Structure 1
Amino acid sequence: MNNHDKTDPNIGISRRDALKLSGLALGGLAGGSLFDLVARAAHAADTCESDCTCAEGPSCRWDSEARAQNYTYFNRLPPFSPFSRETSTTIPRLGKDEIRITFMGSAVPPRTLAQRMMSIFVEVGWDEATQMPRDQFVFDCGSGVCANYGAMNVGYGRMTKIFLTHLHGDHMSDLVHIYCFGPSGDRKSPQFVWGPGPSGLRNPDYDPADETRGPEFYDDGTRAFCAHLREACRWHSESFSFQTTSYKLYEPPTQADWGLPHEPVPVGTDSPRDAYALIPIELDLTLPAEQRVAYDNPTTGVRITYFPVIHDRRGSIGYKLEWNGLSLIFTGDTKPETNSLEQARNGGDGIDVFIHEMAVPAEIWAMKSLRLNDPDQVPDAAVQQSQMVQNSSHSPQGAFGYILNQIHPRPRLTVATHFPTADDTVACAMRSLREHGPCYMGNNANHTADAARVTWSFDRMVITVSKDRILEQRGMVKEFGFQATYQPPPGTYNRPDGFDTPKYHYEGQTGGSAGDPYAQIDTTTAICPCGPDGECNFREDGY
């Protein structure tokens, strides 16, 4: 008897049978976890509870270390160089009618070195005068992604607009790095952050007679998150404010300029012109669908709307970006639900790129997390825990295949992300997708007319979209490089007087170069390059 067929003495049913009963066999949609068999009342609100049965899923191989430690498809993609010699900014030229999507992070925790957590960078069009994209956006910024942004030549000044799908650490934790170090780089303007409003969920521990149990409703929306982040980073922002943090030609955008749902107001007391101003744009999911507009810029032509998805806690959102007849959807994290499906159908017009999360089956998630290579070796408790997380939060590969097969017309490209991408996991997932309909991978693959083109994201994968084609490429980076090319703000190139005076500056002096790096430190114990007798202690030039 293998581990799949073991009977839990506390339940009296095998794990395999339990999975069948709850509709969780590979290729099924979603259902209750194994715990449902003993505590079904605790999941009374689960609309997926049923006794449906599904056929066994495909057999998958997990016995090859080489397949587990490589993603061959990505390695064979044509190269993309993020530093160009053809433009004055070194930003690779983008066609005036093209969108470029770069995956700076693509993993689900607890993935290690191969992939960072979630983040997508989107550029649209090209401005010949500035030698830059017409508009650009960050969608999520999970842990570790800043290394990929720098390697892919995206500096802080190009990351001013950050759209968060939800406030989990693997989707927002590198905001700390971006916010803190941006003003020391080329972001000399405020940091804008879009995200969900308060969840409105009641605190189950609330007791009006005991204030230590917390408030009845937590202020858990994006504005509160930004307000606390601003103060948490106070030491950093003050310590670096001997450097200039604003420039003279900057004009703060108004609500009308960017088509925002409300006026852009910084948290705290920072000037709306300063790079340490943190400006939340909170998105209200209670609005009618036609009013859910996050960004609608009449100058660049980009329109970004949002919609609710189902992930862990109320308030998780997905985004749709539309520009110049092209469109993409980024769902963020979500269990199978109908809003993403309807957004992808787009009223019958379809979309160009559909980016949706995908999870491996619960037992494989547990197996990989435990560094095993045989599902039979995975303890039942580990599978149960993974299954519980999946049921509340994620779309397994079979559900992904079902959803994709319901979208007509097909997206021109569907991207599975938030996935532990490797040869073995992708091969298994592709088998699940093909149980629901024909699909293929590749820039030039042969396929049937109704087949869906799919790909699995990987860090530094670049997808360029035009009306004529969609090209997948592989970012070629220098692992020992330093940072993106500095992009001087307008009116500051070789002009220190184009910057405003730093907060900490020499008394009686003003001007872009008058910052005082000694204003906040005590130098009485400092060791100087030269001693009082003129003897050289160490070279002042650093050598």
Structure 2
Amino acid sequence: MISTKKLFIGAALAVMAVMLFEWNHSGNRHANTSGLTAQAIAAESPPQVSPVKARARDFYAPNSEDLGPNEMRLIACGTGMPTARPKQAASCWLLELGNGDKFIFDIGTGSAERIAALQIPYNFLDKLFLSHLHTDHFGDLDALFVGGALMGRQKPLRVWGPSGDTPERGTKYALDHLYKALTWDLDGRKGITDPRGYVPFEVTEFDYKGVNQIVYEENGVTIRSIPAIHALDGPVSFILEWNGFKFVFGGDTYPNKWYAEYAKNADLAIHESFISVPTLIEKFKFTPQGALSVGTQVHTSPEAFGKMMSIVKPRMAVAYHFFNDFDTAPDITQRIRSTYDGPLSLATDYMVWNITKETVRVRMAAVDEDVWPPQPSEKPQVPDPKLRIPPSQVILDGKYDMKEVDQPTYDKINEEYGLSEKQD
């Protein structure tokens, strides 16, 4: 039988050993802890909160944070369905890099409003990459083009997109005809606003069948394309690499061998995870046959999304292309988790990811619904009134004479800015 004295000595030695270990490792105390232990240590000395100084916040406020030289920021500007709704616009993603470059991937219906809410000068938003030509992926291109030029984009809008299996199904054909469709709009702005942003799109159309082909290479940024499987021939996915980071945007696609190979070990990988078949039947009123076809063949089911992510193993997997609601998110999550147990974000509009070598931070942006366009990055050009196309005399004859009420405004502006403008 062990004596009480021996037990006491043994316990004392154990306590001393623990104390010595803690003392030797105190310099790395926080670095060598994680989870609940780290939280407990942090609770020992909570940060001092000032009643007057800014406090830490867990949301992103546009135009309020610097982007580090070795950092990427992704903002979801559209995550929903072809039928846009107030909560979710159609597909659109803004990727900002620490070198100053900004790239828009898709510009689906309703997404231009989200881009405007981010308060980024439009001169910085001149690079757009289209995954394919469904309207829920390029339906707000006209709004970005015209609205951006009106509010400060003083250069051409550059657009990269895939060819089709016929010329009529390619990006260049679509954008050439979109520009023609805007003839009345653009002619009506001649001689009234800065004209530099209204020039035709600069379109780079590339072969949709190319595998890991370079479609963009500037300023240390390389963007490649791979084929995607969706609807017809033509859709693609994009892989962006910069400064040791890899970002993958799948667009719309069925799981495929190209994504499985070239998206591996991405820092952030976006792939569609469509509404589940039962939800398509219940909420979209699809027939069972239609729900099975659309939900598992034309698009990617949540279970198949999870399987793909278990193959590519990204630092962060991002699921999108579904209505993200209180009653659909649990169903989507459960289905994804049946095949994937890694890091996961169920995307919704204004979700933000900050990616560094150490962390991937996920939060929401808080935007101002009353936002005005940001200040242009360059001084606007004075329009040439000689370029203006006036209405016909038949229409002009219908004008009321309002010179008397408008003249005080002319007088004030002319005096304030040293001008001599006159009314028509």
TM-score by length of structure 2 reads: 0.78
2:206 aligned residue: 283
1:342 aligned residue: 261
Asked whether 1:245 is paired with 2:195, we answer yes
1:424 aligned residue: 327
In the alignment, the residues of structure 2 paired with residue 319 and residue 144 of structure 1 have an alpha-carbon distance, to the nearest angstrom, of: 22
Tell me the SS of whatever aligns to 2:343: strand
- Cα offsets for 1:235-280 (capped at 9, x unmatched): 111111222223xxxxxxxxxxxxxxxxxxxxxxxxxxx6422111
1:74 aligned residue: none
1:78 aligned residue: 58
In the alignment, the residues of structure 1 paired with residue 367 and residue 60 of structure 2 have an alpha-carbon distance, to the nearest angstrom, of: 9
For the pair shown, which has the larger CA radius of gyration, 1 or 2? 2
- Which amino acid counterpart does residue 82 of structure 2 have in structure 1? P
Question: Which residue of 352, 355, 363 corresponds with 2:270?
Answer: 355
Tell me the SS of whatever aligns to 1:341: helix
In the alignment, the residues of structure 2 paired with residue 112 and residue 323 of structure 1 have an alpha-carbon distance, to the nearest angstrom, of: 34
Asked whether 1:453 is paired with 2:402, we answer no
- Cα offsets for 1:174-196 (capped at 9, x unmatched): 00111122221111111111111
Going from structure 1 to structure 2, the CA distance change for 1:156 and 1:365 (only over 3 Å counts) comes to farther
In the alignment, the residues of structure 2 paired with residue 173 and residue 360 of structure 1 have an alpha-carbon distance, to the nearest angstrom, of: 21
Aligned pairs, how many? Answer: 351
Going from structure 1 to structure 2, the CA distance change for 1:193 and 1:520 (only over 3 Å counts) comes to farther
Question: Which residue of 243, 257, 261 corresponds with 1:324?
Answer: 243
1:172 aligned residue: 138
1:140 aligned residue: 106
1:106-505 to structure 2, matched below 5 A, reads: 106-110=79-83, 112-126=85-99, 134-200=100-166, 219-242=168-191, 243-246=193-196, 275-287=198-210, 289-290=211-212, 292-297=213-218, 300-345=219-264, 350-370=265-285, 382-407=287-312, 410-438=313-341, 452-483=342-373, 485-489=374-378, 492=379, 499=381, 502=383, 505=385
- Which amino acid counterpart does residue 527 of structure 1 have in structure 2? Y
- Which amino acid counterpart does residue 102 of structure 1 have in structure 2? I
Structure 1 stretches of 5 or more lacking a match?
1-76, 85-91, 127-133, 201-217, 247-273, 371-380, 439-451, 507-514, 531-535
Name the structure with the higher helix share.
Answer: 2
Is contact 1:78–1:472 with CA below 8 Å preserved after alignment?
no
Going from structure 1 to structure 2, the CA distance change for 1:383 and 1:470 (only over 3 Å counts) comes to same
CA RMSD of aligned residues (A): 2.2
- Cα offsets for 1:451-494 (capped at 9, x unmatched): x10011111111111111111121111112233x12233xx3xx
Single out whichever of 466-475 and 165-174 deviates more from structure 2.
466-475
In the alignment, the residues of structure 2 paired with residue 231 and residue 185 of structure 1 have an alpha-carbon distance, to the nearest angstrom, of: 21
| Offset of residue 219 of structure 1 | 1.7
Tell me the SS of whatever aligns to 2:293: helix
| Offset of residue 385 of structure 1 | 1.8
1:13-52 to structure 2, matched below 5 A, reads: none
Is contact 1:309–1:331 with CA below 8 Å preserved after alignment?
yes
1:524 aligned residue: 397
- Which amino acid counterpart does residue 325 of structure 2 have in structure 1? A
Going from structure 1 to structure 2, the CA distance change for 1:111 and 1:487 (only over 3 Å counts) comes to closer
| Offset of residue 152 of structure 1 | 1.4
Going from structure 1 to structure 2, the CA distance change for 1:155 and 1:520 (only over 3 Å counts) comes to farther
- Cα offsets for 1:297-330 (capped at 9, x unmatched): 1xx2111000001000111000001000011100
In the alignment, the residues of structure 1 paired with residue 163 and residue 143 of structure 2 have an alpha-carbon distance, to the nearest angstrom, of: 23
In the alignment, the residues of structure 2 paired with residue 360 and residue 187 of structure 1 have an alpha-carbon distance, to the nearest angstrom, of: 37
In the alignment, the residues of structure 2 paired with residue 383 and residue 332 of structure 1 have an alpha-carbon distance, to the nearest angstrom, of: 25
Tell me the SS of whatever aligns to 2:95: strand
Tell me the SS of whatever aligns to 2:231: coil
Is contact 1:151–1:477 with CA below 8 Å preserved after alignment?
yes
Between 1 and 2, higher relative CO (CA 8 Å, sep ≥ 6) is seen in 1
Going from structure 1 to structure 2, the CA distance change for 1:385 and 1:539 (only over 3 Å counts) comes to farther
Is contact 2:186–2:198 with CA below 8 Å preserved after alignment?
no
| Offset of residue 335 of structure 1 | 1.4
Is contact 2:239–2:247 with CA below 8 Å preserved after alignment?
yes
Tell me the SS of whatever aligns to 1:424: coil
| Offset of residue 417 of structure 1 | 1.0
- Cα offsets for 1:96-122 (capped at 9, x unmatched): 111110000100233522111110001
In the alignment, the residues of structure 2 paired with residue 426 and residue 277 of structure 1 have an alpha-carbon distance, to the nearest angstrom, of: 41
Tell me the SS of whatever aligns to 1:320: strand
- Cα offsets for 1:158-180 (capped at 9, x unmatched): 22111000000000010011112
Structure 2 stretches of 5 or more lacking a match?
1-56, 411-424
- Cα offsets for 1:342-379 (capped at 9, x unmatched): 1122xxxx110011110122221232224xxxxxxxxx
| Offset of residue 151 of structure 1 | 1.0
Is contact 2:132–2:234 with CA below 8 Å preserved after alignment?
yes
Identity of aligned residues (%): 26
Is contact 2:146–2:198 with CA below 8 Å preserved after alignment?
no
1:33 aligned residue: none
In the alignment, the residues of structure 1 paired with residue 164 and residue 334 of structure 2 have an alpha-carbon distance, to the nearest angstrom, of: 39
In the alignment, the residues of structure 2 paired with residue 302 and residue 316 of structure 1 have an alpha-carbon distance, to the nearest angstrom, of: 22
In the alignment, the residues of structure 2 paired with residue 157 and residue 386 of structure 1 have an alpha-carbon distance, to the nearest angstrom, of: 42
In the alignment, the residues of structure 2 paired with residue 469 and residue 337 of structure 1 have an alpha-carbon distance, to the nearest angstrom, of: 28
In the alignment, the residues of structure 2 paired with residue 224 and residue 113 of structure 1 have an alpha-carbon distance, to the nearest angstrom, of: 31
In the alignment, the residues of structure 1 paired with residue 282 and residue 120 of structure 2 have an alpha-carbon distance, to the nearest angstrom, of: 36
Is contact 2:209–2:227 with CA below 8 Å preserved after alignment?
no
Is contact 1:139–1:162 with CA below 8 Å preserved after alignment?
yes
Tell me the SS of whatever aligns to 1:281: strand
